[in-house]
Chains A and B, each alone.
Chain A
């Protein structure tokens, strides 16, 4: 349902009607379908509306889908002002309900274009048929009939088919901007008038055939470009992550082994899909019981940051983004893509828009200059033609030049690179909030790594174990004692120890402590079989029991039996796989890496040494604020941290990537978020950003060379407007192909 009221949009000021359209979670946000957007220049125009009115906070445009998301500070007039002023810019504006993606409006726009293409194709083909008859051996008596028929068939062309060009021309005049529609409109009208005049004078020169054929080709090209944008620019927003997922769709009425991979975007409601262990559930839905399987466990860490397993039984509702911990599950689909809860979370993340990107702005500027150059050369050609009495010939050359050198390909190339990079990043498990991420990543001057939870896993390993003399044989007894002492504790160390000792003590008897006490910051104590045991942390040097001044101390854990230390060990966090490779990668790129940690100096330095970092690259015992200060000291720092604990540092760095924690929390403070695993794919993302930068430059160079060569050929008269109209989409296709190849 959508109301389109071109007259006033006053209905958008009505609180009750706003309810239909606005974002249910934010009453100051609404979505509009904008018909007629062609390039990033249009995007900049629409987004520029936000600067004109105080009531409008921000406008961000999705060029691929023709959608604009608007945030206002005053709902009483903001929405209607936005709609009206965008309409005044020459676009057709329709308010659409928040959870729809404007597919109805998209359909309408496409149907309209297809109709125009079909009708112009029919007219052009028939006009050509009659024109060819007059070119090759007609008889004098039939000639007026054929010419009259051409004129009759051209009438709908000049009125109906060419209408969008007139509109674009008029709008361009109003905004005092050069548009490609101008020459088309002039050619269509002038060609019609000149041909009619020649017809009435009984002359040969009538152009109905070439004009109608030409307009048909241009319309086809535009439709193709629009579809290509729709298809390839859809990855530009974070919520597109869900569209890149695929699902195992079960064949209806067949055994569970029979399934096919299909993209989640093509899943229908209530169809059933199969999910395997360790995979994300790709859509919202319900758990379906199948023989021998009614309950599952899922991990919600992507949605809320909690990594505890959650048990569920059929028909529990499931959300996209839950990770399955059990071996397999069948899900009945209820919503996919942007309609899922995760899709809505990702959709509501405020990201930067295309027109804020430096490379897009420079590409736009380049194409604007190209357009000016092309129009000036065209005008010179016309002037020369007029002066040398070969006006028609030179008009044709100028026209071919303008058609051929249309900078559409140039304006399309850069967003395309970003879209492909986004898709690639999604494939690597990274959600990117704003597109500036890729640009910024190529310019970093330093990398800051959080230690705990980023470089290290949540699992711990036991090391530096030592026993008091003669007690080595009692290792497993001591383990039982420690477990018994820690049994009631909720301290992370306690749960880590439970995890480590669990395997080695499988089947051993459980011991119970009398009068167990836990002292915060010290440890646990209690009586077991009449003996007093204490388990606590203490500091000592690494190679001896004596505390000597000047020797760096480490944190040890010890079991004390009646005050005597009988067993001591260290707990060290397990390094993430590929941590060393990651640091090595940045070293090769000559980007200094710093380790940030709140832990003790000795622990941090030890890890730094292991990772090959010098002492001044290890920052120890820093508070969250200290981390922020450290990150801010470098103008272009890349911060890698966990989305929960390092949000301050992530937010204040030049560019940041988070991992772990819930996606919405993490993306509030950082530019990108790894959905899965740690940072072992950072190097690939870094390489991707550099490849994207190179591809953008290559696209612009290619478009320039193509346009210059084609332009020179057109000026010399080797290319007529008809061939130019055929060559125009070819440059866009070549850029599409080149970008795909470069970023494959």
Chain B
């Protein structure tokens, strides 16, 4: 049974970690616009971008 006492904080810690990263992402505007990123794939990369730079 001791293992459960150990597991519970671990679960909460892992979950809490993900929650914190979610809060951080939301506050930084990660979910502000969910439409245009899907369209951006159709755009061409600007000249001088990574491709030729091998």
Using a CB–CB cutoff of 8 Å, the interface residues on chain A facing chain B are 107, 110-111, 114-115, 118-119, 122, 125-126, 129, 139, 141-142, 145, 149, 251-254, 260, 262, 266
From 29 to 50 in chain B, residues with beta carbon under 8 angstroms from any chain A beta carbon are: 29, 31-32, 36, 39, 42, 44, 46-47
> Would B15 and A114 count as touching, CB distance under 8 A?
no
Nearest A residue to B34 via CB reads: A227
Taking the closest CB of chain B, its distance from the CB of A254, in whole angstroms, is 8
A354 to B39, CA, bound (A): 32
Which one, A107, A122, A142, A145, contacts B19 given CB within 8 A? A122
Q: Give the residue of B8, B29, B42 whose beta carbon is less than 8 angstroms from that of A149.
A: B8
One of B1, B12, B39, B47 near A142 (C-beta < 8 A): B1
Contacts of B1 in A (CB 8 A): 139, 141-142
What residues on B are CB-neighbors of A145 within 8 Å? 8
Contact B39 A262 (CB under 8 A): yes
Contacting residues, chain A, for B29 (C-beta < 8 A):
107, 111
Residues of B within 8 A of A251 (CB): 44
B27 within 8 A of A: yes
Whole-angstrom distance between the Cβ of A179 and the nearest chain B Cβ:
27
Partner of A126, one of B15, B32, B36, B44: B15
Known contacts A126-B12, A252-B47: A118-B32 contact under CB 8 Å: no
Task: Report the bound CA distance from A54 to B8 in whole Å.
Answer: 63
A111, A125, A141 — most chain B CB neighbours (10 Å): A111
- Beta-carbon contact of B23 and A115 below 8 Å: yes
Interface footprint category on B: 20 to 34
Question: Do A122 and B39 form a contact, CB below 8 Å, given A111-B29, A114-B31, A253-B47?
Answer: no
Q: Cβ of A115: which chain B residues have Cβ within 8 Å of it?
A: 23, 26-27
Verify A119–B19 contact, CB threshold 8 A.
yes
Q: Given A119-B19, A139-B1, is A111 in contact with B26 using a C-beta cutoff of 8 Å?
A: yes
Residues of chain A within 8 A (CB-CB) of B22 are 118, 122
**Nearest CB of B to A271, in Å:** 10
Chain B residue numbers with a CB within 8 Å of A141 are: 1
**Contacts A111-B27, A111-B32, A126-B12; is A252 near B19 (CB within 8 Å)?**
no
> How far apart are B21's CB and chain A's nearest CB, in angstroms?
10
Given A119-B23, A142-B4, is A111 in contact with B36 using a C-beta cutoff of 8 Å?
Answer: no
Chain A residue numbers with a CB within 8 Å of B18 are 122
Cross-chain contact B31 with A111 (CB below 8 angstroms): yes
Contact A266 B46 (CB under 8 A): no
Cα distance A260–B43 in the bound complex, in angstroms: 9
In contact, B15 and A266 (Cβ under 8 angstroms):
no
Q: How many whole Å from B17's CB to the nearest CB in chain A?
A: 11
15 pairs of residues in contact across A and B, judged by CB atoms under 8 Å: A110-B32, A111-B26, A111-B32, A114-B26, A114-B31, A118-B19, A118-B22, A118-B23, A122-B16, A122-B22, A139-B1, A251-B44, A252-B44, A253-B44, A260-B42
Cα A145 to Cα B15 with chains together (Å): 18
4 tightest A-B contacts by CB?
A122-B19, A118-B22, A251-B44, A253-B47
On whether A266 and B39 interact (CB within 8 A), knowing A111-B31, A119-B23, A122-B15, the answer reads yes
Query: Which B residue's beta carbon lies closest to that of A113?
Result: B26
Once the chains are docked, how many angstroms separate the CA of A125 from the CA of B31? 21
Chain A residues, CB < 8 A from B11: 126, 129
Whole-angstrom distance between the Cβ of A243 and the nearest chain B Cβ: 13
A260 surroundings in chain B (CB, below 8 A): 42
Residue of B nearest to A116 (CB): B26
CB-based nearest A residue for B39:
A266
Provided the pairs A111-B31, A142-B4, A262-B39 are in contact, do residues A118 and B47 lie with their beta carbons within 8 angstroms? Answer: no
A119 CA to B18 CA in the complex, in Å?
10
| Residues of B with C-beta under 8 A to A122 | 15-16, 18-19, 22
- Docked Cα-Cα span, A206 to B46, in Å, equals 58
- Of chain B, the residue at the smallest CB distance from A268 is B43
Q: For the complex, give the distance between the alpha carbons of A743 and B44 in Å.
A: 36
Contacting residues, chain B, for A252 (C-beta < 8 A): 44, 46-47
- Whole-angstrom CA separation of A614 from B15 in the bound complex: 80
State in angstroms the CA–CA spacing of A252 and B16 once bound together.
Answer: 44
A272 CB, nearest partner CB in chain B, Å? 12
CB distance from B20 to the nearest CB of A (A): 10
CB nearest to B5 among chain A residues: A145
For the complex, what is the distance from the CA of A119 to the CA of B25, rounded to whole Å?
Answer: 13
Q: How far is the CA of A588 from the CA of B1 in the complex (A)?
A: 84
The residue of chain B having its C-beta at the shortest distance from the C-beta of A106 within the complex is B32
Q: Which residue of A lies closest to B22 (CB)?
A: A118
Residues of B within 8 A of A262 (CB): 39, 42
Contacts of B36 in A (CB 8 A): 266
A118 touching B15 by the CB < 8 A rule? no
A667 vs chain B, min Cβ distance (A): 30
Q: How far is it, in angstroms, between the C-alpha of A107 and the C-alpha of B18 when the chains are bound?
A: 22
- Collect the chain A residues with CB atoms within 8 Å of residue B12's CB: 126
B32 to A, closest residue via Cβ: A107
Chain B residue nearest to A103 in the complex (CB): B32
Considering only CB atoms, which chain B residue lies closest to A108 in the complex?
B32
A sample of 4 more A-B contacts (CB under 8 A), given A122-B18, A262-B42, A266-B39, is: A107-B32, A115-B27, A122-B19, A126-B11
Task: Give Cα A266–Cα B23 distance, bound, in whole angstroms.
Answer: 28
Q: How many whole Å from B11's CB to the nearest CB in chain A?
A: 8
In the complex the two chains form, what is the Cα distance from A126 to B19 in whole Å? Answer: 12
**Chain A residues whose C-beta falls within 8 Å of the C-beta of B16 in the assembled complex:** 122
A254 neighbours in B (Cβ, 8 Å)? 44
> Cβ of B44: which chain A residues have Cβ within 8 Å of it?
251-254
B31 to chain A, nearest CB (A): 6
Distance, CA A68 to CA B22, complexed state (A): 32
- Alpha-carbon distance between A266 and B1 when the two chains are bound, in angstroms: 58
List B contacts of A119 (CB < 8 A). 19, 23
- The distance in angstroms between the C-alpha atoms of A110 and B30, with both chains bound, is 12
Q: Which residues of A contact B47 (CB under 8 A)?
A: 252-253
Q: Chain B contacts of A149 at CB under 8 A?
A: 8
Question: Whole-angstrom distance from the CB of B5 to the nearest CB of chain A?
Answer: 8
Cα A557 to Cα B45 with chains together (Å): 65
How far apart sit A252 and B23, CA to CA, in the bound complex (Å)? Answer: 37
Give Cα A11 to B32, complex, Å: 30
Give the interface centre of A114, A115, A252 by most chain B CB atoms within 10 Å. A114
Shortest distance in angstroms between B47's beta carbon and chain A's nearest beta carbon?
5
Residue in B16, B18, B22 with the greatest tally of chain A CB atoms within 10 Å:
B22
Which residues of the other chain, A, contact B27 by a CB distance below 8 angstroms?
111, 115
Bound complex: CA A115 to CA B28 (Å): 12
CB distance from A45 to the nearest CB of B (A): 28
Q: What separation, in Å, do the CA atoms of A251 and B41 have in the docked complex? A: 13
Q: Which residues of B contact A139 (CB under 8 A)?
A: 1
User: Which single residue of chain B is at the shortest CB-CB distance from A149?
Assistant: B8
In the docked arrangement, what's the CA distance between A149 and B8, Å?
10
Q: How far is the CB of B46 from chain A (nearest CB, A)?
A: 6
Residues of A within 8 A of B23 (CB): 115, 118-119
